[in-house]
Chains A and B, each alone.
Chain A
Amino acid sequence: MTRNTRILMQCIYWAFVLYLLIPLALMMLMGFKDSKFIGFPIRDVTLDWYLAVFQDSQVLNAMGYSAIIGVLSTAIALFMGTWIAVALTGRSFWGRAILLGLTLLPAVIPGVISAIAFRIAARLVGLEPGMWAIIWSHAIHNVPFVVLVVMARLSTLPKSYGEAAQDLGADPIITFFRVTLPYLTPAMIGGGIFCLLLSFDDFVRSFFLGGYEPTLPVLIFAKLRSGMSPEINAISTVVLVLTAVLGLWAERSMRGMKKRAAND
């Protein structure tokens, strides 16, 4: 790669970052506006919207509720998605294409239809609307994304890795846990982030399968009816900062773990 193309790519990267971050900067800024609406000009500023986020128990509860749903549904989707990806990769058997097609279906069924179908199915199996119903629907919807990402990585796993382990006497289960799974970790982290994002941003499934406790998007949609106020911007900013801090912390602690493991 020549120096020029490298600089060009660096420019594209930073331009892209700018394009992603400018709307967010505007969102944060508008959280300080002393008005019921966002937009220019900003005549007066206030901290009230931000302070109100931490005093509004409804908003705090919704954040916690969405976080629990996100983590649990992601765990289920990762488990199931990885299993399916492993079963489908590197083998050809009758019905593989059908199974793959069915696996990917939930990602493309329109949200409203799948939400209502889940609602009816939940009643058939006696699952009450509420947290577990939402977790269940999010997990189902997110499995295809895990499968796609994990399969992409799995297809590049050199055959020699597994063969070497088996030559050393490891059975397939141990080979999976000691060779395949570590190799898949980056894809699973990526897939997990996907799932968390999708779950955290889902409105329609949470609406239909939820009970009387709103998730964060359901609450925001309800608030939006009376206008896009700085309050919603402040709530979103707080969520953003919290997740960014959490992400940085996770990244740091994982890097620390790696270092310790390397020195071990």
Chain B
Amino acid sequence: MTLSNTRPASGPADRPGFWGRLSGSGPYAALTDVLLASPRRQFAILLIVPVIWVLLTHLGPILQMINVSLLTNYPPGPNNVPTYTLEHYGKFFTDSIFIQPFLRTLIFSSVLTLTTLIIIYPVAYFLARHVRRDRQMMFLMLLLIPFWVGEIVRIFAMMILLGNNGALNLALQWLGLTERPIPFMYTGFSLSAGIIYLTALYMLMPLYSALEKIPPSLFEAAADLGAGPWTRFRRITLPLSLEGVSSGCTLVFLISTGVYATPVLLGGPSTTLFSEVIAGFFHVAGDQWPVGAAFAVIMLVTALLLTGAFTKLMAHLAGRVKQ
């Protein structure tokens, strides 16, 4: 199949199929009379389900997290009944050792998001514009297959690829390119190699779906008007794929602020990220849940503010292009 072979369906009136019969039936008409009485009512009905779902299932956990972050101790024990406090938030702002991994994470996530974008854009472009439509799904699947293997198993495979006695070093030595093994593992190199593996998919999907729906006729028209390849890219492709860039970057950024297993297993001694700090409060013997929760709230609020601003900026850019 192709992903975009969808035309607007012909109206229900021209052929009395299932939909035609449905729209003509009495109970359906009665129902729609109630549901669709006014645009206002349509809107309310459309909105009520998401609002209930979001309030019940999305807000609950976050309130719980905020609640825990304000308690003196958690889980509560019979000998230590918790009271409310703000000290865990204060800890972040007064103790300078936490600022560094926090800033490192923000910088790291930004750089990583940009890198992923630069690597994946040509891949998505090639897929969307240079592969025959009926073969696109196949090419896309080739990129999706690896993600069916769990993160941990993939990381260990990465280790036997990059280790001192790993496949890459063995190959280099066999080719005579190096005599002593090159230490790839536990460096910025192994860390990036592992994390881009993890985030590539989240960039690929939105970019691909944004790129594949740009009508080819636009390019032909532009070419007829004498626009060169670079101009065509700058004036047509890039602006029209901004939506994809925006959601891809949002996803990758949010996910990379929270990645845990990959940096722990592939990073070196000096690459501690904030998620590791947070996880430390949950795992290490101290079990300081409230501190971990408070730090998680801080990270969350920051990440949301940044992506919110980023999305606004992209929407603004896209809006300007349309004019």
A contacts, CB < 8 Å to B: 1-2, 5-6, 8-10, 12-13, 16-17, 19-24, 26-27, 30, 38-40, 80, 83-84, 86-88, 91, 93, 99, 101-114, 116-118, 120-121, 136, 140, 143, 145, 148-149, 151-153, 155-156, 161, 164-165, 167-174, 177-179, 182-183, 185-187, 189-190, 193-194, 197, 200-201, 216-217, 220-221, 224, 228, 232-233, 236, 239-240, 243-244, 247-248, 251, 254-255, 257-258
Contacts and interface: CB of A to CB of B under 8 A. Distances in A.
B115 interface: no
Contacts of A221: 152
Nearest to B12: A170
B304 A194 contact: no
B247 A87 contact: no
Contact of A189 (B3, B53, B60, B158): B3
B318 to A, nearest CB: 9
A97 B141 CA distance: 34
Contact of B165 (A40, A86, A104, A145): A40
A26 B160 contact: yes
A12 B122 contact: yes
B64 interface: yes
Contacts, number: 297
B58 A12 contact: no
Nearest to B194: A23
Given A40-B160, A113-B61, A170-B12, A148 B247 contact: yes
B248 to A, nearest CB: 9
A91 B146 CA distance: 38
Interface residues of B, number: 110
Interface string B4-43: 1110110111100001001100000000100110000011
A247 B43 contact: no
Interface stretch (B79-87, B88-96, B99-107, B202-210): B202-210
Contact of B122 (A9, A164, A183, A189): A9
B36 to A, nearest CB: 6
B150 A201 contact: yes
Could you say which of A5, A20, A145 has the most chain B C-beta atoms within 10 Å of its C-beta?
A20
A91 B157 CA distance: 47
